[in-house]
With several copies, the nearest count.
Chain A
């Protein structure tokens, strides 16, 4: 049996579908950010993903996987601004950088991609696990994906998404130590982090959209 692989065109489809999911969840993300931040996280994510979608539509038929990610990352970075622009922008762009020359994308690459994304996030944002940021969804996702190594692509993505969701929920019990909300200290307890929820949303989208390919 041939191991399933995600093509560049698949990636365009998957990322565009994730953009729709972000659009649909924008108000919820704003609300989460409103409680302990400035209430714009959903808007910023939507602006970034709209631009990403727009940029991907302009790509040629024969585009490579790395160019898809590069394009997505640059478009997101240029359009979103805010804190998430550089963070998610770098996650995508660094993935593109790392995948230069690659033509297949299967289970193994999925784990690797998540690792690269975590490194990009930490490099840009300097967060540590427990700081109540996007990392608290991404970090458990990477651990779960690594633990699932050897399983099928969609299974790995499902476990990563589950771990990210659990991680996002767990941020409710954390005291923010980075970004705007950090000034609130203990007042952040009991409220989930908006960015961590975005990561959970993206990884869930990744799993479910890849499953429909």
Chain B
């Protein structure tokens, strides 16, 4: 294992120290592993919390800022943050209008955030929760609520953060996040595994000509292992699986995210996007806005995921809403 680290057990903590040192005007740390906007709490605004285990950078804390997240509780690598970390973030972003928790649907996260929410409620902070369930490979449509969350976190955050920035109340912000999640579908492919520093060895092994289709962003094995194909062939598989859910129709408008898992060059993501654009064009689905890059990674895993979010007038508004954070800034 070759990594730019010091102590395998201190990775997340040292990482956070570096992060807040790099962006002191934008963010500050609270407690041991939570980071919040420098101007938190914003009085009267719903506090938007996005969190989970680390190892997915720039998710989560890279998206702290106007139009996006107010606070990020960060767990150890690929492990949900504990309730006390979630509470540190919750208290720091609570501006009196309630707090929304957004996180990927993993049992560890569900338990830890739920415990935190119970305690926050006792302290008088009203908490609502949205669990992101965009990964079509993780369960059939009838069990949509048991699907796991992958890169869709970004779109759900974009909607919630924009709605909160527009002074939506907690019910409104929750509804925006919920609508984004309902209209979001993703699927990924891994070309390599990744190594958790404290474990020191790759989570899984892939042959020199094998790929894992439909994998999770923590290296959980995927739907099927296949022989290496061309970028176009792989993209065809991902997009056709996404379009299988009867959500997207000719004439629809979508936002597209081609997300790199960590080690895949941007050039390859563009080659994948090129094919996505062609397939959507053929399906008469119109691309309103595109995102290509590393939004939700799995350490140094090679591969990518494709996410489509179906837009109505409201979601288009939230997608277009300006945002300003260390790792995502959009001006219109």
Contact = CB atoms under 8 A, between A and B. Distances in A.
The reply to whether chain A is a binding partner of chain B is: yes
Interface of A: 26-27, 30-31, 34-40, 42-44, 46-47, 77-87, 124-125, 178-181, 183-184, 187
B199 A39 contact: yes
B95 to A, nearest CB: 25
A187 B220 CA distance: 11
B129 interface: no
16 contacts: A27-B200, A34-B203, A34-B219, A36-B220, A38-B219, A42-B198, A46-B198, A78-B82, A81-B82, A81-B112, A83-B107, A85-B82, A179-B107, A180-B218, A180-B220, A183-B220
B181 interface: no
Contact of B220 (A77, A82, A86, A181): A181
B19 interface: no
Contacts of B78: 38-40, 82
B106 A180 contact: yes
Nearest to A43: B198
B138 interface: yes
Contacts of B216: 38, 180, 183
B221 interface: yes
A81 B196 contact: no
A84 B80 CA distance: 10
A199 to B, nearest CB: 17
Q: Does more than half of chain B's interface fall in helix, strand or loop, or is it mixed?
A: loop
B316 to A, nearest CB: 32
Given A83-B111, A180-B106, A38 B203 contact: yes
Interface residues of B, number: 36
B323 interface: no
A30 B196 CA distance: 9
Contact of A77 (B83, B106, B148, B196): B83
Contacts of B199: 27, 30-31, 34, 39-40, 42-43
A187 B79 CA distance: 23
Contacts of A79: 82
A3 to B, nearest CB: 37
Contacts of A180: 106-107, 216, 218, 220
Given A81-B80, A180-B216, A183-B220, A43 B196 contact: yes
Contacts of A183: 137-139, 148, 216, 220
A43 B195 CA distance: 12
Interface string B163-185: 00000000000000000000000
Nearest to B222: A183
Nearest to B114: A86
A40 B9 CA distance: 12
A37 B75 CA distance: 17
